[in-house]
Amino acid sequence: MNKNQSYLAEERVGRLMMKYSVPCIISLLVGALYNIVDQIFIANADYLGSYGNAANTVVFPLTVIALAIAVMIGDGCCAFVSLNLGKGDKNAASNSIGLCVLMSIISGVLLCAVYLIFSSPVIKLFGATVNPETFALSKEYFFYISLGIPFYMFGQAMNPVIRADGSPKFAMFSTLLGAVLNIILDPIFIFCFRLGMTGAAVATVIGQIVTAVLSLFYILNTKSVKLSKRDFHWDKKIAGRTLSLGVCSFLSQISLVAAMAAINNMIRRYGAKDPIFGQEMYAQIPMAVVGIVMKVFQIVISVVVGMAAGCIPIVGFNMGADRHERVKKLFSLLLACEALVGAAALLIVEFLPRRLIGIFGSANESVYYTDFAVKAFRIYLCMIVFACLNKAAFIFLQAMGKAVASTMLSMVREIVFGVGFALLLPIFFGLDGVLYSMPVSDALTAVISAVIILKTYRQLSPGEAKIPLKQGIQTI
């Protein structure tokens, strides 16, 4: 067992969860704030308002595509490194980190090029044509966000790797510093210099560059393993294993993009049939509002995912060391904490929706903006407790090396249910059908998750056959 990380198999799981999850939660919350802070300042700028908010909603899923690729590389590397440190194989761990660096840089540059070349057709796919003002602001914002994609992806990919190396606080600090810069620069660029969507995007990119630079500094000075030139070469076997462990993270994010594309287009289509939102002066309101609701949901999910992702090094190490009882105990603690977070969020969105929408410039908008927002919060997030538990199950199974089960759950939730119901329910319920798609998807996924969670508990219980590492990756 690796001496530097032996405490992962000895320390109390509650203390370990706090040590690793709190910095991860903060890192993800800060990451979520990049976009939501832009939206808050945009919403409160009288010359942007709901048009700017709608444009932000259009571009948001395109940044999630970048995040999906980055977390597939980074989370996969994190799980792979943790599993191999648990087994004492430092060579495989260091090679995975080297490959992670190469893959994140190459994919970041390629995606940036695609976005810059095909910017207009790409934003049209996500509903930018709801009206001319929204399209123009979306294109402006997207151009500068695209320039920062390589830095954003590198920083996001390295964050879980830094946690796996035993430095969750540094991972938190690097992300936090970038976000603080964004928060400082946003009002300066938007209100003082009146740079509009350009100012919001440039502030975001500056913060992302700072995070990327700090991440690079750490990767060159890792603790658990020492990187050398030989680690930065292509190893098909290690690359495949690393990416397979991260594919659940990728699918959970990229499937969210598919769901958001479906939702945005259904909003555009059925909003045009609504007696109020069919008027051009109000056409952007449903898209702006649903985008805001999604951002609030993203804050909650950042806490949920942060708790679960923070457990990845702990779970991976103990699975590698055959300490299954500790893994089971950690899983129980995680599910209890996730349920509490979901319950707290449910109370807020059901009882304080007007307060929430007030943060996003409702005072500058029509009554239709506020009324639709209240309904959207109460319907769209009414099953948020199940959403929290589902996310925890996806990530924990991934950390155990059970990539098939994790991937299947994620695909069912986001593609089969998320996209399917977003396309189906509006046919029967119009614009409200878009809002119903979220709670229906989460409730049905929770039933499937419960079955898999119970089976996982049995496999981790004393007296049951232990889960061999390779089999654990392949079995549900």
Go through 83-121 and write b for each residue having 16 or more CB atoms within 10 A of its CB, e for each that does not. Answer: bbbbbeeeebbbbbbbbbbebbbebbeebbeebeeebee
CA distance 226 to 151: 24
Dihedral sign computed on CA atoms, order 422, 128, 258, 71: negative
CA distance 329 to 40: 40
CA distance 399 to 319: 9
Contact status, residue 218 vs residue 158, Cβ threshold 8 Å:
yes
User: Quick one: tokens of 434?
Assistant: 């878009």
Contact status, residue 80 vs residue 92, Cβ threshold 8 Å:
yes
Ranges of each domain in the chain: 13-474
- Residue 463: what pLDDT? 59
CA distance 249 to 448: 19
Q: DSSP letter for 5, please.
A: G
Contact status, residue 307 vs residue 21, Cβ threshold 8 Å:
yes
CA distance 159 to 207: 15
Q: Write the CA distances from 101 to 94, 185, 230, 234, 397, integer angstroms.
A: 11, 29, 13, 11, 25
User: Quick one: tokens of 462?
Assistant: 């004393």
Q: Write the CA distances from 468 to 171, 397, 459, integer angstroms.
A: 31, 14, 11
The letter for the amino acid at 99 is L
CA distance 475 to 351: 42
CA distance 175 to 207: 8
CA distance 316 to 140: 43
Q: What is the pLDDT along the chain (476 residues), one digit of tens a residue?
A: 444 456 777 888 898 898 888 887 887 787 777 768 888 899 889 899 889 989 999 998 999 899 999 999 998 998 898 888 878 888 888 999 999 999 999 999 999 999 999 999 999 999 899 899 999 999 999 999 999 999 999 999 999 899 888 888 898 899 889 989 999 999 999 999 999 999 999 999 999 999 999 999 999 999 888 888 888 988 889 899 889 888 877 876 787 788 888 999 999 999 999 999 999 889 999 999 998 998 899 889 889 988 998 888 888 888 878 888 899 999 999 999 999 999 999 999 999 999 999 998 777 788 999 999 999 999 999 999 999 999 999 888 878 877 778 878 888 988 899 999 999 999 999 999 999 999 999 999 999 999 988 988 888 877 554 444 444 433 33
- Residue 470: what pLDDT? 41
How buried is 55 (Cβ within 10 angstroms: 0-12 exposed, 13-18 middle, 19+ buried)? buried
Q: Write the CA distances from 333 to 75, 166, 330, 385, 457, integer angstroms.
A: 21, 21, 5, 16, 13
Contacts of 236 (CB under 8 A, 6+ apart): none
Q: Write the CA distances from 431 to 37, 133, 297, integer angstroms.
A: 27, 22, 19
- The length of the chain is 476
Would you list the DSSP string of 244-312? HHHHHHHHHHHHHHHHHHHHHHHHHHHHTTSTTTTSTTTTTHHHHHHHHHHHHHHHHHHHHHHHHHHTH
